[in-house]
Amino acid sequence: MSAKRKDQLATAGLYVIVGIIITVLAGLLGFVFVKGVPQLSWQFITSPPQIFKEGGGVGPQLFNSFYLLVLTLIISVPIAIGAGIYLAEYAKDHWIIRCIRVLIEVLSSLPSIVVGLFGFLFFVLYMGWGFSILSGAFALSVFNLPLLVRVIEQSIHNVPKSQREAGWALGFSKWETITTIILPAALPGIVTGIILASGRVFGEAAALIYTAGMSTPIIDFTNWNPLSPTSPLHPFRPAETMAVHIWKINGEGIMPDAAAISDGAAALLIISILFFNFTSRFIGNLLFKKMGAN
Amino acid sequence: MNVVETIEQSVIQTENLQFYYDTHHALKDINLKFEEKKITALIGPSGCGKSTFLRTMNRMNDLIPGVKTEGAIWIGKENIIESSIDPVELRKKVGMVFQHASVFPFSIYGNIAYGPRIHGERNKKVLDEIVEENLRAAALWDEVKDHLDQSATGLSGGQQQRLTIARTLATKPDILLMDEPTSALDPISTAKVEELIQTLKEHYTIIIVTHNMQQAARISDFTAFFLNGEVKEYGQTATIFNNPLNSETKDYIAGKFG
3-state DSSP assignment of residue B113: helix
Name the residue with higher pLDDT: B98 or A58: B98
What are the pLDDT digits (tens) for B156-207? Answer: 888 999 999 999 999 888 999 999 988 888 888 888 889 989 999 898 999 9
With vertex at residue A8, the alpha carbon angle to CA A2 and CA A10, rounded to the nearest 5 degrees, is 100
| Per-residue pLDDT at B258 | 63
3-state DSSP assignment of residue A216: coil
Q: Which of B88, B104, B107 sits opposite A171 (nearest CB)?
A: B88
Answer yes or no: do A293 and B114 touch at CB < 8 A.
yes
Cβ pair B167, B108 in contact under 8 A: no
Question: CA-CA distance, B70 to B15, in Å (whole number)?
Answer: 9
| Per-residue pLDDT at B5 | 38
Nearest C-alpha neighbor of A180 from the set B101, B124, B130, B111: B111
How big is the A-B interface in CB pairs under 8 Å? 70
Question: CA-CA distance, A292 to B107, in Å (whole number)?
Answer: 7
3-state DSSP assignment of residue B66: coil
Angle between helices A258-291 and A183-203 (to 10 degrees): 170
Cβ pair A131, A213 in contact under 8 A: yes
| Per-residue pLDDT at A291 | 63
Answer yes or no: do A170 and B106 touch at CB < 8 A.
no
Answer yes or no: do A293 and B88 touch at CB < 8 A.
no
Distance from CA of A179 to the nearest CA of B (A): 11
| Per-residue pLDDT at A39 | 84
Distance from CA of B51 to the nearest CA of A (A): 14
Question: CA-CA distance, B91 to B114, in Å (whole number)?
Answer: 15
Report chain B residues touching chain A, CB-CB < 8 A.
58, 60, 63, 65, 88-92, 95-96, 98, 100, 102, 104-107, 109-110, 113-115, 117-119, 149, 164, 167-168, 171
Distance from CA of A292 to the nearest CA of B (A): 5
Least confident of A211-220, B135-144, B234-243, B245-254: A211-220
3-state DSSP assignment of residue A31: helix
Check residue B37 and report its DSSP letter.
Answer: T
Average pLDDT over residues B66-70: 90
Question: CA-CA distance, B42 to B96, in Å (whole number)?
Answer: 15
Distance from CA of B95 to the nearest CA of A (A): 6
Q: Is A53 exposed, middle or buried (0-12, 13-18, 19+ CB in 10 A)?
A: exposed
Answer yes or no: do B95 and A173 touch at CB < 8 A.
no
| Per-residue pLDDT at A294 | 45
Check residue B17 and report its DSSP letter.
Answer: E
Q: Which of A169, A173, A293 sits opposite B60 (nearest CB)?
A: A169
Residue-wise burial string across A167-191, b where 16 or more C-beta atoms lie within 10 A, e elsewhere:
bbbbbbbeebbbebbbbbbbbebbb
Segment holding B159, helix H or strand E: helix B157-169
- DSSP for A115-141 reads HHHHHIIIIIIIS---S-HHHHHHHHH
Assess whether pLDDT exceeds 70 at residue B8.
Answer: no
Question: CA-CA distance, A191 to B153, in Å (whole number)?
Answer: 21
Answer yes or no: do B98 and A165 touch at CB < 8 A.
yes
| Per-residue pLDDT at B10 | 56
Cβ pair A141, A122 in contact under 8 A: no
Answer yes or no: do A165 and B102 touch at CB < 8 A.
yes
Q: Which of B63, B91, B105 sits opposite A170 (nearest CB)?
A: B91
Residues 6+ apart with CB under 8 A from B12: B32, B33, B34, B57, B73, B74, B75, B175, B205, B207
Nearest C-alpha neighbor of A114 from the set A135, A142, A75: A142
Distance from CA of A190 to the nearest CA of B (A): 16
Answer yes or no: do A170 and B167 touch at CB < 8 A.
yes
Cβ pair A157, A198 in contact under 8 A: no
Residues of chain B contacting residue A178, judged by C-beta atoms under 8 Å apart:
none
Residues of chain A contacting residue B60, judged by C-beta atoms under 8 Å apart:
165, 168-169
3-state DSSP assignment of residue B21: strand
Check residue A294 and report its DSSP letter.
Answer: -
Answer yes or no: do B60 and A184 touch at CB < 8 A.
no
Write down the H helix ranges in chain A.
3-36, 42-46, 59-85, 95-108, 112-119, 133-157, 161-169, 174-177, 183-203, 206-209, 242-252, 258-291
Name the residue with higher pLDDT: B239 or A220: B239
ipTM: 0.81
Answer yes or no: do A166 and B114 touch at CB < 8 A.
no
Residues of chain A contacting residue B102, judged by C-beta atoms under 8 Å apart:
160, 162-163, 165-166
Q: What are phi and psi of B68, to 5 degrees?
A: -145, 130
Answer yes or no: do A169 and B96 touch at CB < 8 A.
yes
Q: Is A164 exposed, middle or buried (0-12, 13-18, 19+ CB in 10 A)?
A: buried
Residues of chain B contacting residue A166, judged by C-beta atoms under 8 Å apart:
98, 102, 104, 164
Q: What are phi and psi of B248, to 5 degrees?
A: -70, -40
> CA dist A101 to A146, A150, A156, Å?
9, 9, 16
Answer yes or no: do A294 and B106 touch at CB < 8 A.
yes
Q: Is A49 exposed, middle or buried (0-12, 13-18, 19+ CB in 10 A)?
A: buried
Q: State which residue of chain A sits closest to B94, comparing Cα positions.
A: A169
Segment holding B225, helix H or strand E: strand B222-227
Please list the pLDDT of chain A residue by residue as tens digits (294 residues): 788 999 999 999 999 999 999 999 999 999 999 998 888 888 888 888 887 777 777 888 888 888 999 999 999 999 999 999 999 988 888 888 899 888 888 888 888 899 999 999 999 899 888 888 999 999 999 988 999 999 999 999 999 888 888 988 888 888 989 988 898 888 888 888 888 888 888 888 888 888 888 777 777 777 777 777 777 888 888 888 888 888 888 888 778 888 888 888 889 989 988 888 888 888 888 877 766 544
Question: CA-CA distance, A246 to A249, in Å (whole number)?
Answer: 6
Distance from CA of A160 to the nearest CA of B (A): 9
Residues of chain B contacting residue A285, judged by C-beta atoms under 8 Å apart:
none
Amino acid (one-letter) located at A168: W
